[in-house]
């Protein structure tokens, strides 16, 4: 494949997919996108740590060859104002695995989210965001160890998908007239209008991925999170289709919460995954007060966006919570947080959200030793009191270091491991 600005490393081999299986050599080429804002700080820091962990884990037998790809402001500088170049998308499809820093989206005007466009264009339909506690991390919870959930957020539908019509435009007026005159809808004059598509197809493939994850990772429950009491035919339908999918495709390994109480006195039968649901607003309270009751969560795009930041806050904040956007054979790993523009270029913020997204990526390609080394080093360094500003302001006993200083401390801990 000929690229204009992407330079593929001269050595290394692309990850291939054959018969539904991923084939990863000892020297794979992985794509990375630096990202806007604090991307310049966290991405180089993480590359250093990932390389050190690979070197330590495999003593030179395995190595990553990184290919820099461009999206966002850096892409616009290189591709003549194009923030979303086709060849970046082609390269991600070709490599099948990439990791990205955050990308800027203007509020209330300007272009639509590049993150959402990326997810939709590559049909990365599941946003997977694990949230768990690491020793030494400041948490507002009394028992932060209880927190270990994985949020599966539908990534292509919902009000998030950008079907909206600005007040005062001809399209808005046309739709408003149709809704009022033909559908009997009532709303204030001049209201901005958005559409919330939630499909059976989109719901079922997301819930399928969540249940498959629960099976593979020995998890006890999958909770469908929705506001179906109010939005009956979108969020309510998500709940209905979620239960349907569980019964149709995983009836032998799942049990509903109702069945659990009716037939098993609330005691989970060995090997069964409990499928339950909670209304979205109470879920925010439950995750703070009784996190031990939850395991895998499956929800729609907007709920998942809100819930993943709130969950992250319970175990150290979005500076630490990782994520992945996944299709069946393409995955783009990314930090949960945004570009934090006020800190951009200051070498200040916590690189751990992107770092742990990399841990997810190494697990995904079947190199789990890398992730375990990074997690151990992280706990050692943080428990030892070397932290970035976000943890330092919550811990009197810690010393604040820069992003690069934190990465150096991790590299040292990895080399000594
Ligand atoms: N996936 C993506 O690419 C995402 C992109 N965005 C985009 O990012 C831009 C800014 O969005 P905004 O809502 O301000 O959200 P951000 O996540 O960029 O920042 C909000 C606050 O979170 C804290 N924070 C963020 N990252 C870190 C980090 N690495 N370490 C420590 N603390 C951190 C900071 O808190 P404090 O001020 O308390 O120090 C920061 O001010 C927008 O354009 C938005 O669209 C947003 C989310 C995801
Ligand atoms: O695309 C954006 O700018 C924001 C996306 C976001 O908040 C997220 O994916 O968590
Ligand atoms: Mg978000």
Residue-wise pLDDT tens digits, 227-255? 999 999 999 999 999 999 999 999 999 99
Catalytic residue among 305, 347, 390, 408: 305
pLDDT classification of 412: cutoffs 50, 70, 90: very high
The pLDDT score that the predictor gives to residue 182 is 98
350 is in an annotated binding site: yes
How many CA atoms lie less than 13 Å away from 55 in the CB half-sphere? 12
295 is catalytic: no
Give pTM, 2 decimals. 0.97
**Ligand 1 close to Cβ of residue 103 (< 6 A):** yes
**324 and 334 in contact (C-beta within 8 Å)?**
yes
Q: Does residue 162 surpass a pLDDT of 80?
A: yes
Q: Note the pLDDT tens digit of each residue in 261-314.
A: 999 999 999 999 999 999 999 999 999 999 999 999 999 999 999 999 999 999
Q: Give residue 109's pLDDT.
A: 80
Alpha carbons 49 and 366: distance in angstroms, whole number: 18
| C-alpha distance across the termini of the chain, in Å | 40
Q: Of all residues in the chain, what percent carry a pLDDT higher than 90? A: 97
Catalytic residue among 227, 240, 348, 380: 227
Where does the pLDDT of residue 7 fall: very low under 50, low under 70, confident under 90, or very high at 90 and above?
A: confident
Q: Are strands 21-23 and 16-18 parallel, antiparallel or unpaired?
A: antiparallel
Residue 110 pLDDT more than 90? no
339 lines ligand 1 (CB under 6 A): yes
Closest listed ligand to the CA of 335: 1
CATH code: domain 1-129+320-417 is 3.40.718.10
| H/E run at residue 256 | strand 254-256
Model confidence at 58: pLDDT above 80: yes
The interface predicted TM-score of the complex, written ipTM, equals 0.98
Q: What's the mean pLDDT when you consider all of the chain?
A: 96
Rounded distance between C-alpha atoms, residue 251 and residue 58, angstroms: 41
Quick: pLDDT tens for 173-206.
999 999 999 999 999 999 999 999 999 999 999 9
Q: What is the pLDDT of residue 254?
A: 98
Band the pLDDT of 160: cuts 50, 70, 90: very high
Whole-number pLDDT of residue 339: 97
Whole-number Å distance, alpha carbon 335 to ligand 3 midpoint, is 10
Distance 27 CA to ligand 2 centre (A): 32
Confidence of residue 108 (pLDDT cuts 50, 70, 90): confident
The reply, when asked if residue 217 is annotated as ligand binding, is no
Cα(88) to centroid of ligand 3, in Å? 23
Q: With respect to CATH, is domain 140-158+197-314 assigned 3.40.718.10?
A: yes
Residue 338 annotated as part of some ligand binding site: yes
Identify the residue whose C-alpha is closest to ligand 1 atom 48: 338
User: DSSP per residue over 31-89, as a string?
Assistant: EEE--STTHHHHHHHHHHHHHHHHHHHHTTS---EEEEE--THHHHHHTTT-SS-HHHH
Average pLDDT estimate for 15-32? 96
299 annotated as belonging to a binding site for a ligand: no
Sign of torsion over alpha carbons 337, 308, 333, 161 = negative
Burial group, residue 382, by CB count within 10 angstroms (0-12, 13-18, 19+) = buried
Structural domain spans, the chain:
1-129+320-417, 140-158+197-314, 159-195
Residue owning tokens 């299709």: 327
> Which ligand 1 atom minimizes the distance to the CA of 352?
29
For the residues 400-417, what does the mean pLDDT come to?
Answer: 98
Residue whose CA is at the smallest distance from ligand 1 atom 31: 319
Short-list 11, 47, 14, CA closest to 29: 14
**Which residues lie near ion ligand 3 (Cβ < 5 Å)?**
305
What per-residue confidence (pLDDT) applies to 106? Answer: 82
- Protein residue with least CA distance to atom 3, ligand 2: 105
Q: Give CA separation, 47 vs 59, 66, 107, in Å.
A: 17, 9, 30
Give yes or no for residue 1 having a pLDDT over 80: no
Q: pLDDT confidence of 408, banded at 50, 70, 90?
A: very high
Closest atom, ligand 2, to C-alpha of 308: 10
pLDDT digits (tens, 9 = 90+) for 142-151: 999 999 999 9
Average pLDDT over residues 57-65: 97
DSSP for 192-234?
-EE-----HHHHHHHHHHHHHHHHHTT-SEEEEEE-TTTSTTT
**129 marked ligand binding residue:** yes
Give the pocket of ligand 2 (CB within 6 Å).
Answer: 105, 113, 115-116, 305, 336
Q: Known catalytic residue: 227?
A: yes
The DSSP bridge partners found for residue 226 are 279
């Amino acid at each position: 494949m000929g690229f204009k600005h992407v330079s593929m490393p001269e050595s290394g081999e692309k990850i291939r997919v054959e018969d539904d299986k991923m084939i990863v050599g000892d020297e794979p080429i992985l794509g990375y996108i630096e990202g806007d804002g604090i991307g310049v700080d966290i991405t180089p820091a993480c590359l250093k740590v990932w390389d050190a962990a690979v070197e330590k884990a495999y003593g030179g037998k395995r190595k990553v060859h990184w290919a820099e790809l461009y999206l966002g402001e850096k892409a616009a500088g290189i591709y003549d104002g194009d923030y979303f170049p086709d060849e970046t998308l082609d390269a991600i499809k070709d490599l099948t695995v990439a990791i990205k820093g955050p990308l800027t989206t203007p509020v209330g005007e300007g272009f639509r989210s590049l993150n959402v466009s990326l997810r939709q264009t590559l049909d990365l339909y599941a946003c997977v965001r694990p949230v768990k506690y690491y020793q030494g991390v400041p948490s507002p919870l009394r028992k932060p160890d209880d927190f270990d959930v994985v949020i599966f957020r539908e990534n292509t539908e919902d009000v998030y998908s950008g079907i909206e019509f600005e007040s005062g435009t001809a399209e808005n007026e046309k739709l408003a007239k149709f809704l009022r005159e033909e559908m009997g809808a009532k709303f204030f004059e001049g209201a901005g209008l958005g559409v919330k598509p939630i499909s059976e197809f989109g719901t079922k493939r997301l819930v399928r991925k969540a249940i498959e994850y629960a099976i593979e990772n020995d998890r006890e429950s999958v909770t469908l999170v929705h506001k179906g009491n109010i939005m009956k035919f979108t969020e309510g339908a998500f709940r209905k289709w979620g239960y349907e999918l569980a019964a149709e495709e995983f009836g032998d390994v799942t049990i509903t919460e109702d069945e659990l109480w009716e037939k098993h006195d609330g005691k989970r039968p060995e090997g069964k995954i409990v499928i339950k649901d909670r209304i979205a607003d109470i879920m925010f309270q439950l995750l703070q007060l009784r996190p031990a009751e939850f395991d895998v969560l499956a929800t729609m795009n907007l709920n998942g966006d809100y819930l993943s930041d709130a969950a992250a806050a319970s175990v150290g904040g979005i500076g630490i919570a990782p994520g992945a956007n996944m299709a069946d054979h393409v995955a783009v790993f990314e930090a949960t947080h945004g570009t934090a523009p006020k800190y951009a270029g200051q070498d200040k913020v916590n690189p751990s959200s992107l770092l742990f997204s990399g841990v997810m990526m190494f697990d995904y390609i079947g190199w789990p030793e890398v992730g375990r080394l990074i997690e151990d080093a992280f706990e050692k360094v943080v428990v030892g009191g070397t932290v970035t500003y976000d943890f330092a302001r919550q811990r009197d006993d810690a010393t604040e270091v820069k992003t690069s200083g934190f990465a150096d401390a991790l590299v040292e801990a990895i080399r000594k491991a």
